[in-house]
Amino acid sequence: MSSLSRITLVLVLLLSTAYTADDNRLTIYTAQTGYSITVIELQNTHYVGLIDVLDPLGRTETRIDGNKLRLMFTPPGSSPREFEFQAGNKTYKTSRDKPEFTAPFAIQNERGYIPVASLPAFLASLLDQQIQFHENARRLFLSGAPTRFTAEIRKDATPSLVLRFQKPVNPFIATEPGKLRMVFTRDPVISTGSDTLTFSDPIISSATFAEHSGLADLTVNSTVPLIAAFSDGGRTITLAPTPTTQPPAQAATEQPVAPSAELPITTPPVSTLPLAPRAPSFLVVVDPAHGGDERGAALSNSLQEKDVTLSLARRIATQLEAKGITAILIRSGDSTNSLDQRAAAANSMRPALYIAVHAVSLGQGSTVFTAQLPPSTIDRRSFLPWNSAQSAYLDLSSITGGSIAAELNTRKVPVRATSASVRPLNNIAAPAVAIEVSPLSSDISSLTSADYQQRIAGAIAAGVSAVRNKLEAAR
């Protein structure tokens, strides 16, 4: 596949307000990943959920007793640490001392909240790391997270701008007359020192870097439309005039062409994702959660969530195929794919159903999730908002989830059906469910049992087959 074809995956969903500013978002970056959490306002002070912050950083256990919250937090490779917080108090207890927040700790709806301004000092002491906090932009970086870049004009037959990043990046790219914008939603990209770069080139004149609302963006100004090509495993992005663009001197002699009112938004290449040019009439996309650098939950000292989800997803695909249903995996190996990449790949294949697969060590049996979104009257054939594309399919997702839950119950697998904000369900423009599998007993090894996995996979395939006619009718 050519470089051009790899980068022109066009998603009409992204033509909406997917990456407009969200003042209620704060993004935390680690050396492995980045994640966003919601900021709320209490008594004119900004707060974030304690568990929202800590869950991706280690194992958390909490217990609320009246106006007190007790926390047990275990960072990877470290011993557990205990904390006690009291609503209305700035001071909290640890095993070593009694630190103080900048504002009182809060408890609302059985959830604990800490002030945003206290987050850097709290995490620095908790993780024994140096923290870099860009408060105005609401971006917080743990040790080893920030990624810098260089920009250089390459003078070939056609001038190009070469951007080299310290680590692989995965920006969303939007083009419009006179500029190309790269939005970094999960990448810890920071300024090279100057937020404005000027180039002595008649085609690519300058670039501006900005941080805001939990993300960063780089806007490149040019006199002609540009296209992006990725190389070096995502560490290098080369911006060059589109193949149909003529240099300004030649373009003046050509017949004028009216500029497009709206140019497409493209996503970067996803070499590990099986993007099909034409999907079957009834296709189920199975998405094994995590993978590569993102291990998911540490189910035991030797068992990682990413391995269990891949094994189970393969069995689900096999069982679906046995029922005459075409299935494809988002990842078939140990590759790293962001949540937005997964949703983009799934949507590009226009599936009849999307199934995400997760695994946890707590609980027993399985949980079937559908997206927690308000119902929508949006026509499924129209442009759908990226952050709530699933709202147009909630009824079909609920029907499918119920059918799968019934089959699991028939096979004596304890099951619970509920809705939750499980990404990337919200971004999927098709019926979508997430299956979270717990051990069948107190023995964690049951998660890898061939018999148990086969029972779950068979139930999922049977549940999908039972509602196939309804899903096909809706399409």
**Per-residue pLDDT at 257 exceeds 80:** no
**Residue 446 pLDDT level (bands cut at 50, 70, 90):** confident
**Per-residue pLDDT at 432 exceeds 90:** yes
Q: Which of 128, 36, 116 is nearest to 73 (CA)?
A: 128
E strand spans, 251-329: 265-267, 283-288, 326-329
**Per-residue pLDDT at 285 exceeds 50:** yes
Per-residue pLDDT at 313: 94
Predicted model pTM: 0.52
Q: Are 207 and 191 in contact (CB under 8 A)?
A: no
Q: Which tokens go with 302?
A: 């030797």
Domains in the chain: ranges and CATH = 3-8+146-244+261-267 (2.60.40.3470), 31-141 (3.30.457.10), 283-474 (3.40.630.40)
**Residue 261 pLDDT level (bands cut at 50, 70, 90):** very low
3-state secondary structure labels for all residues of 166-216: CCCCCCEEEEECCEEEEEECCCCECCCCCCEEECCCCCEEEEEEEEECCEE
**Per-residue pLDDT at 196 exceeds 60:** yes
Q: Are 243 and 4 in contact (CB under 8 A)?
A: yes
Per-residue pLDDT at 375: 67
Q: Which tokens go with 315?
A: 């069995």
CA 442 → CA 77, 289, 365, distances in Å? 23, 23, 11
pLDDT averaged over every residue in the chain: 82
pLDDT in tens, 297-320: 888 888 889 999 999 999 999 999
pLDDT in tens, 214-226: 899 999 999 988 8
Spatial CB neighbours of 137, under 8 Å, sequence gap ≥ 6: 211, 212, 213, 214, 216
The residue ranking higher by pLDDT, 403 or 254, is: 403
**Per-residue pLDDT at 141 exceeds 80:** yes
**Per-residue pLDDT at 264 exceeds 50:** no
Q: HSE of 147 in the Cβ direction (CA atoms, 13 Å)?
A: 24
